[in-house]
Structure 1
């Protein structure tokens, strides 16, 4: 399938970052229509340089077989970034259509234990490539909701996290300045494999609305806010694994525990008791 004008293909091959910027400035319908008629390798090249959110918005409008072709041509990390942002229905359809071994690798990359940072991170945050300009960044910031506050997260061409830049600083610079020259390096990161309990008291929360979540190779996966981390800890405590839920012993223990907690609450006049969480690193290789 390739009805794309040769000049479009040549432009993408010569300057995929510029092509990605053009696609992001089109409507999603128009960008998807062009992606759909490009050769697979050209589509993969352009989508790999787009922000993951914009790329995901494009591919969910394509036929599943077409998405599979493109994702298999993209680098693993770029493809995983797109899959991570897709809705559950589209993601499941694509994973089911992928070769079994590749689908297994993607699922492993996307799966996280309930009490881990990765399970609670905001995956719909799209980082910006460091090759973009101030004008590009401001345009992006204006279009998107910023739950992580004033900071934009910046990555290199391999999708590795390299730093942050505040929007308030961007507006003080020339619109043609490149983000790479303005990045604040040394920004804190947290591993997607870390437990929530191990990072909840980090001093970095005082200075950042959201912290960058990275994989084993430093690849940007999302962000995590302090409030979301606290919600995750409460949920993980409530759903902590124990004996099998369908066993008689579970029901007996559960009934006794509820009664005990109720009595204890009366005695202590609703005193709050918080069970400590063991700080264990997960074994998932992400």
Structure 2
């Protein structure tokens, strides 16, 4: 397959993961597993993240554990936890052991909540700041922080981990270094309980002007953040309703442009995998 077509297909995987997923789902799960084993994780994870967790779990059963873990490590932790719920206990334990430590711990926390609870879909590894630091100290913390999800707002907590306010990153970077963080933050103690059922959480009035809400445990200690996009994903997951496809296929034009290159890449990779398997046998 010409390099130009390979580049085009990989670019399609990265730029249009939802459309690519729809195309690749038409292949057998075994063929798709072979394909993903030979595609860089950063490209494959974009597409795998569009599959239903049950389907991704089936893929993980067929992939080499290091390949499956490589794909999962590129995904949102809440989605990883949702996938783990559909894997065998043995595979889940194996994959968790291969994930980066922060991802593993955050995923384990999410798995302690029932699937229909806010805690199962929150982001656990969010940026936080103590309320007794100044702006200069906060800036240093933010710059050196690794493994947390950046959503533009940092949560400010007291030493007991109770939410005190929200710090918007641009405001933090503009403020004088000697200014106390509490003087710059937006005061707020509003949280969702991690045990709240998703349908109940969906009706919370805070969604009217926010796209994410902090999450607290039964002791009102901060444990994460629920994004509205993850709330919707969770509601779709726990619902048995499957929407019928629209009469007009919105990706028809995309398929006409990129689909053939993607399938050609799929066939090429699958053929190479089959050839290598034959050589080993």
TM-score range, shorter chain: 0.3 to 0.5
User: Which structure is richer in relative contact order (CA contacts within 8 A, separation 6 or more)?
Assistant: 2
**TM-score calculated relative to the size of structure 1:** 0.43
